[in-house]
Chain A
């Protein structure tokens, strides 16, 4: 069953509102990206906690928003996403709120804040700008990335690559992975949710016997391209970036189906204060211009409106990501324990 079908069905049954994190809204409306020309001017003061990611591209976006809105005084606190989330929760416990907005590089961290009940409801006309399966009442996904199987076509043909991620350890393929990498750990969290801890542990142990370990996922993709291995596990954009810098690179992308292997994870933003300027600020992040910029420069997948994905990957409607509540990817601690017990970390 496709995710959107499931959610529509759940909505009809009144189940969605019972799901603590999903809280989907207005699924019937078609999404559309709004131009910044149609957005209100931002005025007043805002404090944004910005999780590190994508080099300076998020900074470029923020600088452009500041330049366009000279009456906005934007204070930014930067740091690792998880550390900022901890600060937000600690501040809330102490009865102080420093941040109006939190822009995080992964949905799991968003889930932590949402789970604490700290995220404020967003206007439905804002969330309806997002593609239907990325609409949430109290946070807004900004851009997406897909888990992929980059492979070297000079070493292996696509028909030899299983479309079931759980079957990968049983294949004859040589494999590269980066288990210490945060996106990989979110992928394992998704696998735990979908397949259970026992099956995930077995998968990790079997993979650990055959996979070659790399520190980061660009390293994985480069190893595939060099022909050190047949195939790797990595977010989609590393392949697109390498192909951009090296157009003749021996690299192609394969996708598994309906499992954690093709998880679509997102960066996202939430408002911590009920403040019109804060929600209007989010509108800028969902604007056609920002979405196009992040897609063009960072190869991330636009999630507002019907903007095309970066060249080189299929549209989200042509792949079959699993049915996952993205905010539950926050359960990273249990994943790390499981990975350690499996001897992977």
Chain B
């Protein structure tokens, strides 16, 4: 119980950090639906969906245990996940856990495809189940923030950032989405996102930033152009890619502070 409470606090803190730093927009595959802007009204449905998903995963694992990989049809894991509205709710509100769900789905599927011992498959199932329930917890918390007006409305289109600070917010959001897309095994999409985020967003920020901290820019340059794309290209684990993104995110937070401080002393145009 103590651990659970600790986890919820930690999740809440992370969530607050993310929500205060990010302006969310649509990245889901397809239309995520207006329901994401009415989370409280849909919590019951999301709960039912998570229970349904849990049952489906359990059914696939049980079939595997009884009848083998072919009969289990593990591809259905992804089909079930993409069929639920909860998918859009978590993707648009907490992409970090969204990535964990994909990681879990492929963990179960991969272990079945490899004809792994049932104990290994069940270990992957536990990780996936945990991600589902963590996601539901995060969406419930998001619903509370949304009700209090503390959550930005999910946008259906991206707006161009007006300045470097806004660009940093979008960059941070995008690199977390890179983890999600990588976890979805959409490697080309993840690589393109890294490239586009660099060229369309970071490249416009770094000129202003390099005057303030050249080493920080140099680090991020390397992350965008070498470390992250190379990790994706070399099929590193989702955890390893996430680790790189988490480190980049910390550097972006530092960049944000530098730019905020600079803004305070910026001279007026007139």
Interface residues in chain A, defined as those with a beta carbon under 8 Å from any beta carbon in chain B: 36, 52-57, 59-61, 63-65, 67-68, 78-80, 180-181, 214-216, 218-219, 222, 226, 237-238, 241-242, 244-246, 249, 289-290, 293, 296-298
Contacts and interface: CB of A to CB of B under 8 A. Distances in A.
Given A216-B198, A218-B217, A54 B269 contact: no
Given A54-B204, A245-B211, A215 B270 contact: no
Interface of B: 159-160, 162-167, 195, 198-200, 203-208, 210-215, 217-218, 221, 224-225, 266-270
Interface of A is mostly: helix
Contacts of B218: 222, 226
B269 A290 contact: yes
A110 B235 CA distance: 43
Contact of A289 (B205, B212, B270): B270
A64 B212 contact: no
A242 B221 contact: no
Contacts of B159: 78
B180 to A, nearest CB: 22
B198 A56 contact: no
Contacts, number: 91
B207 A54 contact: yes
15 contacts: A52-B160, A55-B205, A59-B162, A60-B163, A61-B269, A78-B162, A80-B160, A181-B199, A214-B225, A215-B198, A216-B198, A216-B203, A222-B217, A241-B207, A241-B211
Nearest to B163: A56
A246 B214 contact: yes
Contacts of B221: 218-219, 222
A3 B166 CA distance: 41
Nearest to B218: A222
Contacts of B269: 60-61, 63-65, 289-290, 293
Given A53-B204, A68-B270, A242 B210 contact: yes
Contacts of A52: 160, 204
A241 B167 CA distance: 19
A66 to B, nearest CB: 11
Contacts of B225: 214-215, 219
A241 B205 CA distance: 12
Nearest to B205: A55
Given A53-B204, A55-B163, 8 more contacts: A54-B207, A56-B162, A64-B268, A65-B269, A78-B159, A78-B162, A215-B198, A241-B207
Nearest to A36: B270
Given A55-B167, A78-B160, A216-B199, A245 B204 contact: no
Contact of B214 (A65, A214, A249): A249
A241 B207 CA distance: 7
Contacts of B162: 56, 59, 78
